[in-house]
Structure 1
Amino acid sequence: MPQCPPGSFSYTVRPGDNFWTLAWRFGTTPQAIARANPGVNSWSLRIGQTLCIPGWSPWVTPPQGRCPQGWEPYRIQPGDTLGSIAWERQTTVANLLRVNPVNPNNLRIGQIICVPAR
């Protein structure tokens, strides 16, 4: 497993991953992922391979370790969707995605996102 540089987190490759899909999922660029993983070819990733992804870890902390003013951390619970969270917090999915660079179809139980404060 590679030692990831500060400001990045380790990620285990899943089927269908490449630098473009990972960049979209984690709110970064394919070029930034390539720089964090010298010598790795985006189009020949192996399932189970570990990569370093620049940016914040969506499973550990909100972006830059804190939420914007007026927002607070929220831990994803079983059954949560961005739609249900948006409804609960009286906001929109688009507003949640503006603050949280996450794949709305791939939320994980325990993942922390930022939501409007109550």
Structure 2
Amino acid sequence: MSDDTSGLRYVDHEPGMWFLVAQHGDDLLLDARYSYSAVIDDSALIRLDDAERRAYAEGGHDAMTRLAQRIHHSAPYREDSRFHARDLHRGEDGRAWRDAVGGAIAEHTWAAEQRRAPDDR
């Protein structure tokens, strides 16, 4: 895996809609699901810009839900979407990014499972 995709950790999520991961501190990336009819069901991985990070700092979870909705409605699979060029899944390291985000989510899920009381399992 390249250094660009290393050091991801889970921050938050909205089931079925998005995952927020952090990289090396306060660098935030949103993995937002989008779909189009029965033809497309995928996600776009967007590195938050300064305005989006401020929105998250002020609005938290709800701000990310609104951003994920904007990403979905922009049709990020189309080149004219403002999120298309920002989608890290589309780049040369797309597979590595998918694996890194999946790893951060799996690690969080495993850790959460270990914290559960034995009676809850």
TM-score calculated relative to the size of structure 1: 0.30
- Per residue, is there more strand in 1 or in 2? 2
- Per residue, is there more helix in 1 or in 2? 2
Larger relative contact order (C-alpha < 8 A, sep ≥ 6)? 1
